[in-house]
Structure 1
């Protein structure tokens, strides 16, 4: 399936979750519900994917954890914050770079309209 089509499905599922739950819950609640929703529409999705850090000859297995990884190529980083900061953007870009993933979506469920809480990223590394 084409990356843009997958992204559309992810955004649609996120909107569905946001419509049902609204803002104000913990990130973990949205993560579980979005995981369920993505699975139910037939996407391959994993949660809390370990992302080791390799520095020279040292491998740190307990590096980071990607909230959701869709179709082995799209990183979803979920937030429940007042607004995105540069650190949030840097975080998802780092995950994409370390895992060599082509696309990422930063999704903030703490918004009135979810479309205002979604940023798409492309790995240019």
Structure 2
């Protein structure tokens, strides 16, 4: 077991599942294809998930009619967003940070299947000095 797996085994399990999806499918498909594959891979690996989760937004404790929709919420506490882009930008990162802020959840994963190597960013909301942003290509 490596240090990342010991610190965050749930994130490690999600990343492992997405690595397998990328290994099997490669890059070039639409985001929806990878989402469908994730339903199968998450189930095989016993990654607990909800798909296309509605994320309500509040302003001054009033529920707004506008809401976000996360691709997945895994283990009831990790928002997972899939992308199929040639590269990730700060726009996708801001989207995930807004999802975390809106829900109060702390951890998020941004997974990009569009590059020749799988890319992922792990974001942690709420601890400015500890916000962990790492881009990995595998």
User: Structures share a fold, TM > 0.5?
Assistant: yes
Query: Once the 2 structures are TM-superposed, how far is the Cα of residue 89 of structure 1 from its aligned partner?
Result: 0.7
Instruction: Show structure 2 runs of 5+ residues with no match.
Output: 1-5, 128-138
| Residue in structure 2 matching 1:124, options 115, 123, 126 | 126
Query: Once the 2 structures are TM-superposed, how far is the Cα of residue 40 of structure 1 from its aligned partner?
Result: 1.8
Provide the residue aligned with 1:70 in structure 2: 74
* TM-score of the aligned structures, taking structure 2 as reference length: 0.82
> What is the root-mean-square deviation in Å for CA atoms of aligned residues?
1.5
Provide the residue aligned with 2:98 in structure 1: 94
| Inter-partner Cα distance in structure 2 for 1:111 and 1:26 | 12
Please say which of residues 51-60 and 32-41 is displaced more in the overlay: 51-60
Query: Once the 2 structures are TM-superposed, how far is the Cα of residue 56 of structure 1 from its aligned partner?
Result: 2.3
What does residue range 1-125 of structure 1 map to in structure 2 within 5 Å?
4-114=8-118, 117-124=119-126
| Inter-partner Cα distance in structure 1 for 2:63 and 2:112 | 31
Aligned length in residues = 122
Runs of 4+ more than 2 Å apart: none
Query: Once the 2 structures are TM-superposed, how far is the Cα of residue 92 of structure 1 from its aligned partner?
Result: 0.2
Instruction: Show structure 1 runs of 5+ residues with no match.
Output: none
| Inter-partner Cα distance in structure 2 for 1:86 and 1:109 | 16
Q: Secondary structure at the match of 2:67?
A: strand
